[in-house]
A and B are shown apart, each in its own frame.
Chain A
Amino acid sequence: AQSVSQHNHHVILSEAASLELGCNYSYGGTVNLFWYVQYPGQHLQLLLKYFSGDPLVKGIKGFEAEFIKSKFSFNLRKPSVQWSDTAEYFCAVKPYSGAGSYQLTFGKGTKLSVIP
């Protein structure tokens, strides 16, 4: 079964600082990768996804992520964070096919607090 590891439980940044959130997964085959964001009191919303092709994917609100297959990583980045980015961020992985391909496996999440 696949698993997802998010390295940071809580990240605190000042506005305009750069952000990088780590995500590593364990699965030997082809995967689909996702980053979701959950603003306080709200449901999860999709930030970006990787299915195939260019390993650098761009999402909403200036976020991007890079898929590095050799490192089983899908790190999330943003050059300059804003106070409104305060939220919890979840990395998720799904096998492209075969056993478990119906299911998303989520990491435990990283809380981001941006200080004005």
Chain B
Amino acid sequence: NAGVTQTPKFRVLKTGQSMTLLCAQDMNHEYMYWYRQDPGMGLRLIHYSVGEGTTAKGEVPDGYNVSRLKKQNFLLGLESAAPSQTSVYFCASAQVPNQPQHFGDGTRLSIL
């Protein structure tokens, strides 16, 4: 039982490049979340999904897009990467909102 798996773990991009971060969970959870973690800022919610085929904006959605085509996967896309998007990205999932979220190991993304 892997829980929440994020790929890749590390990536370096040049400004303007695009990429997709993948989050996969094997717990049959309905709710999935993408956060970014920056020093001194805690975790901030980028986008979330309340079920397959649904997505919604969080606190800092600009510059990101997401898709939830399959219940177990939640993709985070950067269409045109900017240095301000250098961060550690965490995915999380939960069966219901009132239960604790389970986190992946994170993706460290650097944009030059």
Contacts and interface: CB of A to CB of B under 8 A. Distances in A.
Interface string A98-116: 0001111111110000000
Interface of B: 31, 33, 35, 40-45, 48, 50, 56, 58-59, 90, 92, 97-98, 100-101, 103-106
B43 to A, nearest CB: 4
Closest 10 CB pairs of A and B: A108-B42, A43-B103, A106-B42, A106-B43, A44-B103, A46-B100, A102-B97, A43-B105, A109-B42, A107-B42
A102 B100 contact: no
Given A42-B105, A43-B105, A106 B100 contact: no
B85 to A, nearest CB: 19
Looking at A96, A104, A109, the one whose CB has the most chain B CB atoms below 10 A away is: A104
A59 B103 CA distance: 18
Nearest to A109: B42
Nearest to B96: A102
A101 B97 contact: yes
A104 B103 contact: no
B31 A102 contact: yes
A108 B97 contact: no
Contacts of B98: 32, 51, 94, 96, 101
Nearest to B45: A103
B47 to A, nearest CB: 11
5 contacts: A44-B103, A46-B100, A102-B48, A102-B50, A104-B45
